Amino acid sequence: MSTTTAKPRMTKLQRREAIAGYLFISPWIVGFLVFTLGAMVYSLVISFSHYQLATDTARPAGFSNYQALVEDPKVMTALANTLYYAVLAVPLEVLLALGLALLLNSQRRGAGLFRTIFYLPKMTPVVATASVFLLLLNGSQGAINRGLAAIGIDGPQWLLDPAWIKPSIVLMTLWGVAGTMVIFLAALQNVPTDLYEAASLDGAGAFRRFWNVTLPMISPAIFFNVLVLTIAAFQIFDQAFLLFHRDTVQGSSDASLFYAIYLFQQAFRQFNFGFAAAMAWLLFLIILVISLIQMRVGNRFVYYESEEAR
């Protein structure tokens, strides 16, 4: 990889350096122009047209895809389901992950082994998880309801009762919560011990130490996890698809119709690309707004150590 002859303006050396730099990042530039920026522009164009896959032609549609979006009650259903799922899943994931991380962080013996055990579900491919949970969650024979019956609880029809469909997906998601846990664990281990010692000398109990030392110190990790988990929750697809939407014949209830599922159905089952592209842009806007709100709120509560360069 040789750099060619130089011209004035920058020094010869600077110019060679710049050319080398551009050459190194050129794969990303090409990919960005085609698969990100190009794709986004393309998507915007498609959302304003009626696209025919068979003939690869598009005729202008004006705002009709967006109008159809607003008028389709299923879009609202999907949006409501997704929002409900996110509101249910994200706090539970954060709480469980933080709880497990705190347990591991205060454990002397076997912490590494426990961490490994908690992490195994995260390594399990989602198809395998779903194929097992499909049976564990079975209302009449499933192990979860058998277990609940053993302690005197009459378990619900997880996969059939519309009210329990979202909790059953949350349960599956919680099983793989270790990714979030590991991020908390790293944050907890970065809290300087002298802060705890100082707090103890000031007479702070365990709870006060957690509330006034641990929580502020790990607030960047909490913020990061909430942000990332929310974005992921809004795009929930695999679990819902595997449990409820594998085949088109099976008339699954509207309660499991999540936004990404409906988008997928519109695009790749109905070949309604214009509508699907419009749906994607609506989702983009919603995620953007929610992320911005979270960042504003986050800025008020998150404590960043100023001297630590990021």
Partner 1 sequence: MSSPVQPGQIQEAHVVAPEPAEPVERADASPRRRRRRPGPALSPLGRVGEAVRWVLLLGCSALFLYPFAWLLAASFKPRGEVFDNRLIPQTWQPENYVQVFDELPLVAWLGNSLLIAVLAAALVTVSSSLVAFGFAYFRFPGRKVLFGVVLATMMLPGAVTLVPQFLIWNQLGFVGTHVPLWGANLFGSAFYIFLQRQFFLSLPKELFEAARIDGLSAWGQFWRIAFPLSVPSFVIVFLFEFQASWNNLQGALIYLNAGSPEAYTVPLGIASAMTKYSPTSGGHGDYQYVMVAALIVTLPMLILFAFGQRSFIEGLATSGRKG
Q: Which of residues 134-163 bind partner 1 (CB under 8 A)?
A: 134-136, 138, 141-143, 146, 159
Report the residue number, 62 or 205, with the smaller CB distance to partner 1.
Answer: 205
Span interacting with partner 1, options 20-28, 63-71, 79-87, 161-169, rule CB under 8 A = 20-28
**Integer Cα distance of 95 and 98 in angstroms:** 5
Report the residue number, 41 or 87, with the smaller CB distance to partner 1.
Answer: 41
25 contributes a contact to partner 1 by CB under 8 A: yes
305 contributes a contact to partner 1 by CB under 8 A: no
**Integer Cα distance of 66 and 52 in angstroms:** 17
306 contributes a contact to partner 1 by CB under 8 A: no
Report the residue number, 118 or 166, with the smaller CB distance to partner 1.
Answer: 118
Binding track, positions 63-92, relative to partner 1; x by CB under 8 A: ------------------------------
Count the residues in the chain. Answer: 310
DSSP 96-145: HHHHHHHHHHT--SSHHHHHHHHHHHHHS-HHHHHHHHHHHT-TTT-HHH
Residue 232: HSE in the Cβ half-sphere, 13 Å Cα cutoff: 16
**Integer Cα distance of 154 and 139 in angstroms:** 10
Could you tell me how far CA 198 lies from the centroid of its own chain?
37
- From the number of C-beta atoms within 10 Å of its C-beta (0-12, 13-18, 19+), residue 212 rates as middle
Could you tell me how far CA 65 lies from the centroid of its own chain?
27
The residue within the footprint of partner 1, chosen from 7, 8, 56, 151 (CB under 8 A), is 56
SS3 199: helix
48 contributes a contact to partner 1 by CB under 8 A: no
Report the residue number, 17 or 297, with the smaller CB distance to partner 1.
Answer: 17
Listed in sequence order, the residues at least 6 apart from 119 whose beta carbon sits closer than 8 Å to its beta carbon are: 178, 182
Size of the site for partner 1 (CB under 8 A): 118
Span interacting with partner 1, options 51-59, 73-81, 86-94, 149-157, rule CB under 8 A = 51-59
User: For residues 83, 85, 90 and 96, what is the CA-based torsion angle, rounded to 10 degrees?
Assistant: 160
Report the residue number, 59 or 108, with the smaller CB distance to partner 1.
Answer: 108
Residue 57 DSSP label: E
Closest CB 101 distance from partner 1, rounded Å: 10
The residue within the footprint of partner 1, chosen from 233, 234, 256, 257 (CB under 8 A), is 234
Closest CB 231 distance from partner 1, rounded Å: 6
The residue within the footprint of partner 1, chosen from 79, 98, 170, 183 (CB under 8 A), is 183
The residue within the footprint of partner 1, chosen from 76, 80, 117, 149 (CB under 8 A), is 117
Give me the residues paired with residue 142 across strands.
none
The residue within the footprint of partner 1, chosen from 89, 185, 233, 257 (CB under 8 A), is 185
The residue within the footprint of partner 1, chosen from 12, 24, 91, 289 (CB under 8 A), is 24
133 contributes a contact to partner 1 by CB under 8 A: yes
